[in-house]
Amino acid sequence: MKGTKGMKSVTDQYRDADVKVTTGHVSDLSKVPVPNYTNEQHETWALMFERQMKVLPDKASQEFLEGLKRLNLPSDRIPKLKDISALLEKASGWRIARVEGLVPEREFFECLAEKLFPCTDFIRGRDELEYTPSPDMFHDLFGHLPLVTNQAFADFYELFGRAALNANEDMLTKLQRIYWFSVEFGLIQDAEGLRIYGSGILSSVGEVPYSLGNQVRRHAFDFDKVSNQYFEIHHMQEDIFVIPSFEWLRDEFLAFAKKNGLL
């Protein structure tokens, strides 16, 4: 595994890819006008939804699949953020906050600490089905939110936000690595075998088989090791870490945060 010396933050790596970083979020979704999506944009959602559902049933974690049912995401059209937010709040007490695009780390973690998930309301172009450098609403709604209906994962998410607000610059970088290798690119070993829970994998048709293939180096999740693990955002991940359960993720993160004076 590569060392982390000279590694750029997640936000800086996105900036290098010309992804705009914006500030500000709106949690009162009644004040947010719903975009007038085109037929092609609705079709783009439907196409991505169909492709992911063909590959995920025996590869995604059971908790993700159960969360997908709770949110009742439509398969044929782009949903309204306020509708999904209401279902999310009913499941776990979390709500959606609308954002223009990628938000800075501190603002993102402030949202998590308040049980708000920052979500865009734009969808990628048809030419970006395989990969989009800027996380869109399919990534946010389909990739992230189903697991936030699971109480153990939602508790971990809130703890993460609270801990990050107490982190200095060096520790914030370590937390970004933990976030990347859990929330974005994590695997879980459950009763049925190795399953996916990372949103970056779940929302990408190419990442799903790759993450479970022989070309990936898989390691047991260790917070001290992961917090020093190098990564780059714009290619398939060569190293992936595996947790035994979401309760373990929550409890072990709490222990890590307390050990480092973050909670």
Q: Which of 80, 246, 73, 245 is nearest to 160 (CA)?
A: 246
Strand partners, 26: 98
Ranges 21-35, 85-99, 189-203, 245-259: which has the least confidence? 21-35
Q: What distance in Å separates the CA atoms of residue 126 and residue 115, rounded to the nearest whole number? A: 32
What's the token pair of residue 28? 């009162």
Terminal-residue alpha carbon distance, the chain: 29
Q: How many whole angstroms separate alpha carbon 184 and alpha carbon 174?
A: 15
Instruction: Please name the residue that has the structure tokens 């070993």.
Output: 189
What is the pLDDT confidence band of residue 105, given thresholds at 50, 70 and 90? confident
Q: Which amino acid is at 60?
A: A
pLDDT at 124: 92
Is residue 128 within 8 Å of 140, Cβ to Cβ? no
Coil, strand or helix: which one is 116?
strand
Condensed to tens digits (0 to 9), the pLDDT of residues 41-96 reads 999 999 999 999 999 999 999 999 999 999 999 999 999 999 999 999 999 999 99
pLDDT given at position 1: 45
Element (H, E) at 241: strand 239-243
Task: Report the mean per-residue pLDDT for the chain.
Answer: 91
Domains and CATH numbers, the chain: 10-259 (1.10.800.10)
Tell me what pLDDT residue 18 has: 57
Tell me the per-residue pLDDT of 182-227, one tens digit each, with 9 for 90 and over.
Answer: 999 999 998 889 999 999 999 988 899 999 999 999 999 999 999 9
Q: What does pTM read for this prediction?
A: 0.91
Q: Specify the higher pLDDT residue, 7 or 80.
A: 80
